[in-house]
Amino acid sequence: MELATIGGGCFWCLEAVFQLVEGVKSVTSGYAGGQKKNPTYKEVCEETTGHAEVVQIEFDPNIISFEKLLEIFWTIHDPTTPNRQGNDEGTQYRSIILYHNQSQKEIAEKTKSSIAANWKNPIVTEIFPLEIFYPAEDYHQNYFKNNPYNSYCAYVVKPKVEKYKKVFG
């Protein structure tokens, strides 16, 4: 098994999509890319920690590649909007890939370059080494599965899940 850590807006959206992907064993919502140890959701939302909302994906590279995970990532969010996805605005919603090794770094940079022509505006996705990942509070885990009728889930998460299903089956 390998790990991938990415952020592209609210972690509930990414978690809901990647839980559907064949070869993904688990998806954990959390925080990374900042300075504060053990940040809380409130602190991250106050933009005082430097962290982004991310998901850490445990996957079987014999079933799905890191590159394919990134193809999904690039498809389900807008990598051209700095510090926002849709109505969610703030540094915690930035587009970010936190690589675990040199191979992931190279794949992230290669895929970022290859999709640039698909977008009118420049890609702003950050690519950095993962220093530490902090799992989010328990109530954030499996959020879409546990709260499918929540209005945010219905109007923001569900359309991303539907887009994934339409594009990737």
Instruction: Report the relative pairing of strands 126-129 and 2-8 from DSSP bridges.
Output: unpaired
Catalytic residue among 10, 13, 45, 153: 10
**Beta-bridge mates of residue 126:** 96
Tell me if residue 63 falls in helix, strand or coil: coil
3-state class percentages of the chain: helix first, strand second, coil last, to nearest 5: 40, 25, 35
10 an active-site residue? Answer: yes
Determine the residue type at 41: Y
Query: Could you give the count of Cα atoms lying within 13 Å of 104 in the half-sphere of its Cβ?
Result: 20
| Catalytic residue list | 10
